[in-house]
């Protein structure tokens, strides 16, 4: 599974609290991504990174921020969690951006009460 | 940006029959078209991809076709088996784009 892990795998939190999800890859991939998956919506891109400290917004970035201080780690922060952010979050990484395989992590199931 | 539409959203087939999933894309510059399979509770994984310089690609029981003129591409699964039951996502990307644009997914159920 291309050496990509996510932590935590499950999390329950309360509305208004900050939450940070971590993605770690050991493949030295330049590109990393955060998606959320909800029924009927497929995989929606939240943020992505094209290098250390280089990030950009995806289609559903409101309420989320990211940081990438090392090649192997990409953090997703929900600044103040809301119930609408209850979802399954997948990170992914790849060598060549949109032109090659993206390898997905196992996912984090987040429940915001 | 690129917009990918995928149909149908659900597909039920009898074991042994074929399944076809179709996707259309909006950006005529797109040149990379991967397909991902996600089994229940698992992560999405690439099963096959095609580039714009090729019209068809096969890998055992799966094949993908690309029609650049019509801006659509399709996944064909022949002789379906229970293990083909999953959600399938198509995606597209133009050159020099850092990201993929995914379709909404097709849930395939293979009936025994």
Closest A-chain CA to B104: A42
pLDDT of residue A41: 84
Whether residue A90 and residue B43 make contact (CB cut-off 8 A), yes or no, is: yes
What residues in A contact B102, CB-CB < 8 Å? Answer: 42-45
Whether residue A42 and residue B98 make contact (CB cut-off 8 A), yes or no, is: no
Mind listing the pLDDT tens digit for each residue in A38-75? Answer: 988 889 999 999 999 999 999 999 999 999 999 999 99
Spatial separation of the C-alpha atoms in residues B47 and B51, rounded to whole Å: 14
Spatial separation of the C-alpha atoms in residues B87 and A64, rounded to whole Å: 26
Q: Which H or E run includes B76?
A: strand B72-77
Q: For chain A, what percent of residues have pLDDT higher than 90?
A: 89
Q: Any chain B CB within 8 A of the CB of A93?
A: no
Closest B-chain CA to A91: B43
What residues in A contact B37, CB-CB < 8 Å? Answer: none
**For B48-54, what is the mean pLDDT?**
93
The pLDDT confidence band at residue A2, using thresholds 50, 70 and 90, is low
Between the CA atoms of A103, A109, A110 and A111, what dihedral angle is there, to the nearest 10 degrees?
160
Q: Residue A15 contacts by C-beta under 8 Å, 6 or more apart in sequence?
A: A81, A82, A83, A112, A113
Longest dimension (CA), chain B: 44
Q: Any chain B CB within 8 A of the CB of A45?
A: yes
pLDDT beyond 90 at B1? no
Q: Please tell me the number of Cα atoms within 13 Å of A111 on its side-chain side.
A: 4
pLDDT beyond 70 at A1? no
Mind listing the pLDDT tens digit for each residue in B14-39? Answer: 999 999 999 999 999 999 999 999 99
Whether residue B105 and residue A56 make contact (CB cut-off 8 A), yes or no, is: no
């Amino acid at each position: 599974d291309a050496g990509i892990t996510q932590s935590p795998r499950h999390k329950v939190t309360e509305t208004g609290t900050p939450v940070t999800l971590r993605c770690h890859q050991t493949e030295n991939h330049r590109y990393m991504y955060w998606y959320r998956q909800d029924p009927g919506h497929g995989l929606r891109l939240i943020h992505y990174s094209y290098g250390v400290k280089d990030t950009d917004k995806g289609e559903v970035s409101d309420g989320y921020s990211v940081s990438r201080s090392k090649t192997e780690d990409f953090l997703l922060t929900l600044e103040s969690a809301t119930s609408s952010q209850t979802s399954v979050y997948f990170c992914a990484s790849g060598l060549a951006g949109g032109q090659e395989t993206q390898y997905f992590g196992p996912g984090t199931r987040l429940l915001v009460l | 940006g690129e917009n990918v539409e995928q149909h149908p959203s659900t597909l039920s087939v009898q074991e042994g029959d074929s399944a076809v999933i179709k996707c259309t894309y909006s950006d005529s510059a797109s040149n990379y078209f991967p397909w991902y399979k996600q089994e229940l509770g698992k992560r999405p994984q690439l099963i096959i991809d095609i580039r714009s310089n090729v019209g068809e690609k096969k890998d055992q029981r799966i094949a993908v076709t690309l029609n650049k003129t019509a801006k659509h591409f399709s996944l064909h699964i022949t002789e379906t088996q229970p293990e083909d039951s999953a959600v399938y996502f198509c995606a597209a990307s133009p050159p020099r784009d850092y990201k993929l644009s995914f379709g909404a997914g097709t849930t395939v159920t293979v009936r025994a």
